Amino acid sequence: MNTQASAKNTGSNKEAPAFFDEMRSADGSIRPAYRKIADWMGQQSRGGMARKQEEADAIFRRLGITFAVYGDNASNERLIPFDLIPRVIAAQEWRFLERGIEQRVRALNLFLYDIYHRQEIIRAGRIPADLVVGNEAFLPQMMGFDPPGKIYSHIVGTDIVRTGENAFFVLEDNLRTPSGVSYMLEDREAMMHLFPELFAAHRVAPVERYPEMLRQTLESVAPPSCKSDPTLAVLTPGIYNSAYFEHSFLADQMGVELVQGSDLFIENGALYMRTVTGKERIDVLYRRVDDSYLDPLAFRSDSTLGVPGLFDLYRAGGVTIVNAPGTGIADDKAVYAYVPDIIEFYTGEKPILSNVPTYRCSIADECNHVLNNLSQLVVKEVHGSGGYGMLIGPHATKAQLGEFEKKIKARPSNYIAQPTLNLSTCPSNVGAGSAPRHVDLRPFVLVGDKIRITPGGLTRVALKKGSLVVNSSQGGGTKDTWVLED
């Protein structure tokens, strides 16, 4: 009440949200990591930047770095906008993030092993049994099976948002088939091509080793039946998949075959690809096809994207599927709320990175809170991804709020809600100079014989003024992300 009165007194009803500006401190001074970037920005002319932007767009389009937007018929291949101003992360900030991510990824892999074996965490009463075994993402077929190295999620994209100097939150753990790493790599290529002088002036941690590290990771989880150098392949649903560019990019960078289901067959306890000379055995399959399409005999029988018999072969140790089927249970949005407990349970440590406070509509009290505060919350479908089927309370119309109220009441367990996060901002090139825009961060983690985290990751930026949605399907762009070395 007091705040409202005082707002009236000053003649302003604007609730000034305290967005954390990654370049500027509250007093307007430039943070140390951004000093040279700020100088450089000051030296760029508007026309010069516009030319560089055109050059960058031409590079991306010519290389075919496009993505398909579902439901967008007019132009089914679009460029993800590339922002010219890099996002900078200081060395000590990165060390903190790195520790937190590693802890989280380690714990989630231990959680997956546990729930597909003795389910100690359920027995200990730390997570409801129904939430796990009653979950669509739980694969009973995985029970009792030991994947090589006991690793389930080898390739992880942890979505992180920042709201303050030391306030980092994990928004989502992507443990199934996270994408975006090709943009991280191509953004760096483009920046080095466009602004070599910036790299000469900074010590930017390299990201170029990712494909090599991915290869090492995949080779380290070869199945027991593999006695020599393992043969790897990347499995794609095909050229019409939205992330097809990335699939072919990664196969190319690793120097392995990019295969489709129709190229593969199983014979005498091994997976083969059809080649011009006959056949060649595959030991490790990095699949970018969802669980349910992997094997028509084990999962969706109408799938033509997978290989009949693949799952049995996997369980028999004839091939390693990366990521393992069934990892979706650990990045399910309903399970997300329990991740801090999961970390404590398996590591005995306090979580280094925080979760975003999450209301579970499956719990009556929390659901009521959500319904009463809908206009201030972000509501997400438990199984949705990529910004589809999501409500942003503060930006929603009356009609949209009403629609979600109905949806939540009809199926409460299908929704979670989180407070709107004041995502930090970074300077972005907006045509008329630069302006702060909201960003998030997806670092990429590889889990094999050891955990390898590429410094930085993919920064997604909401290019629309005031927008907090960074998804490429909703008009978000990307930035090159720099971790500065000491």
Partner 1 sequence: MLGRTAASLYWMSRYIERAENIARLTEVGYRISLTPDIGIGHREDWKSTLIAAGSYEAYVERHNEIKPEKVKHFLLFDRDNPSSVRSCLETARNNARAVRTALTREMWEALNSTYIDFASVRPADLGSGKLPEFLDWVRQRSALFRGSMLGTLLRDEGFHFSQLGAFIERADNTARILDVKYYVLLPTNETVGGDIDAFQWETILRSVSAHRSYRHVYKDRYRPWNVAEFLILRPEMPRSFCFCYGWIERSLEGMSEIIGKKTASHTEASSILNDLKTIPMDAIFQSGLHEFLTEFLKRNNAVSAHIANDFHFL
The residues binding partner 1 (CB under 8 A) are 61-64, 238-239, 244-245, 248-249, 251-252, 257-260, 262-263, 273-278
Our CB check for partner 1 shows the closer of 242 and 260 to be 260
Q: Is the dihedral of CA 125, 131, 133, 139 positive or negative?
A: negative
How many angstroms separate the CA atoms of 284 and 157, rounded? Answer: 20
Nearest-CA neighbor of 44 among 84, 88, 83, 89?
84
How many angstroms separate the CA atoms of 434 and 427, rounded? Answer: 6
Nearest distance from residue 308's CB to partner 1, in Å?
A: 16
Expressed in angstroms, the distance from the first to the final Cα of the chain is: 48
Nearest distance from residue 289's CB to partner 1, in Å?
A: 16
Our CB check for partner 1 shows the closer of 29 and 75 to be 75
Nearest distance from residue 276's CB to partner 1, in Å?
A: 4
Our CB check for partner 1 shows the closer of 192 and 363 to be 192
Nearest distance from residue 306's CB to partner 1, in Å?
A: 16
Nearest distance from residue 411's CB to partner 1, in Å?
A: 39
How many angstroms separate the CA atoms of 456 and 184, rounded? Answer: 9
Nearest distance from residue 256's CB to partner 1, in Å?
A: 8
Nearest distance from residue 211's CB to partner 1, in Å?
A: 12
C-alpha torsion angle, residues 297, 299, 300, 305 (rounded to 10): -80
Our CB check for partner 1 shows the closer of 121 and 254 to be 254
For β-strands 434-442 and 82-89, DSSP reports them as unpaired
Our CB check for partner 1 shows the closer of 263 and 381 to be 263
Residue showing tokens 């714990």: 107
Q: Which tokens is 191 given?
A: 């920046």
Count CB neighbours of 26 within 10 A: 9
Residue showing tokens 């999962």: 299
Count CB neighbours of 21 within 10 A: 16
> Distance of CA 113 to CAs 106, 145, 217, 285, 357, Å?
11, 9, 19, 20, 26
Nearest distance from residue 431's CB to partner 1, in Å?
A: 23
How many angstroms separate the CA atoms of 474 and 392, rounded? Answer: 13
> Could you please report the per-residue DSSP string of 386-440?
TTTTEEEGGG--HHHHHHHHHHHHH-GGGEEEEEPP---EEEEE-SSSEEEEEEE
How many angstroms separate the CA atoms of 17 and 209, rounded? Answer: 39
Our CB check for partner 1 shows the closer of 237 and 325 to be 237
Our CB check for partner 1 shows the closer of 46 and 61 to be 61
Our CB check for partner 1 shows the closer of 116 and 249 to be 249
Our CB check for partner 1 shows the closer of 30 and 68 to be 68
